[in-house]
């Protein structure tokens, strides 16, 4: 697909990619275009951006097949290292969680855990799981976005790192009780990932958290 034919409106400028709002009737669309890195050789840079575009789009597609809520891929423009996907209209979870009443927030945390469990049971790790990469539409059923650091892995260490990242995001960004909040995430995670994956992943997440505290003390 040639994204140069689309009308693009700047949405967000990032270090690795720029986001543009567009339309691909009947859908409202987002175009994610990886930016050129001047410090890299031009041919190498083009190769890296193309490979990462394919890898990210594959992760999003596989996550959706596994039942996770993600944007839908509408097309790729590898010439411009771009992914065209459906626009998820809603609030960033980071900006909404603290203003929710307790019952809605606890339900949301469980549902976030379920979504992560679906990823992990399909052998996908997100790599940057924070409340900034979760969108809440009007019905508050969370969508996970930005799979730019995603990879295929069934290693407990990698799954535990994902869980630790969301736990750290809840602690660092939100005025929540960290223990009860993450317990809700873990509950939803166990429901969708199953006991075997949940046990090994949650154990690793706790181990990673202890490592972080140890190095902080030192």
Which residues on neighbouring strands pair with residue 107, listed in sequence order? none
Which residues on neighbouring strands pair with residue 17, listed in sequence order? 34
Give the other-Cβ count within 10 Å of 189's Cβ. Answer: 31
Using left for φ > 0, alpha for ψ between -120 and 50, and beta otherwise, residue 17 falls in beta
Tabulate helix, strand, coil % of the chain (nearest 5): 55, 20, 25
Alpha-carbon gap, residue 88 to 204, rounded angstroms: 32
Angle, vertex CA 149, rays to CA 6 and CA 58, nearest 5: 60
Structure tokens at 62: 């596989």
Beta strands across the sheet bearing 91-92:
91-92, 134-136, 143-144
Residue 101 C-alpha from the chain's centroid: 24
162 is catalytic: no
What is the DSSP pairing of strand 9-13 with strand 17-24?
antiparallel
The active-site residue out of 95, 98, 102, 128 is: 128
- Which residues are annotated as catalytic? 128
């Amino acid at each position: 697909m040639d994204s140069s034919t689309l009308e693009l409106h700047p949405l967000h400028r990032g270090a690795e990619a720029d986001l543009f709002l567009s339309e691909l009737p009947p859908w409202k669309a987002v175009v994610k275009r990886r930016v050129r890195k001047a410090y890299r050789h031009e041919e190498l840079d083009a190769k890296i951006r193309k490979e990462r575009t394919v890898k990210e789009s594959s992760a999003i597609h596989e996550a959706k097949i596994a039942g996770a809520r993600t944007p839908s891929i509408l097309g790729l423009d590898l010439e411009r290292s771009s992914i065209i996907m459906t626009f998820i209209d809603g609030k960033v979870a980071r900006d909404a969680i603290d203003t929710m009443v307790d019952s809605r927030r606890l339900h949301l945390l469980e549902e976030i855990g379920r979504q992560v469990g679906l990823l992990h049971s399909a052998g996908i790790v997100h790599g940057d799981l924070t409340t900034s990469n979760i969108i809440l539409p009007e019905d508050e059923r969370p969508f996970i976005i930005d799979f730019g650091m995603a990879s295929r892995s069934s290693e407990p260490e990698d799954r535990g790192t994902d869980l630790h990242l969301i736990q750290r995001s809840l602690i660092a960004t939100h005025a929540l009780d960290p223990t009860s909040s993450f317990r809700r995430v873990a509950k939803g995670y166990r429901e969708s990932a199953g006991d075997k994956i949940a046990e090994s992943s949650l154990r690793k997440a706790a181990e990673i958290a202890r490592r972080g505290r140890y190095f902080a003390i030192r």
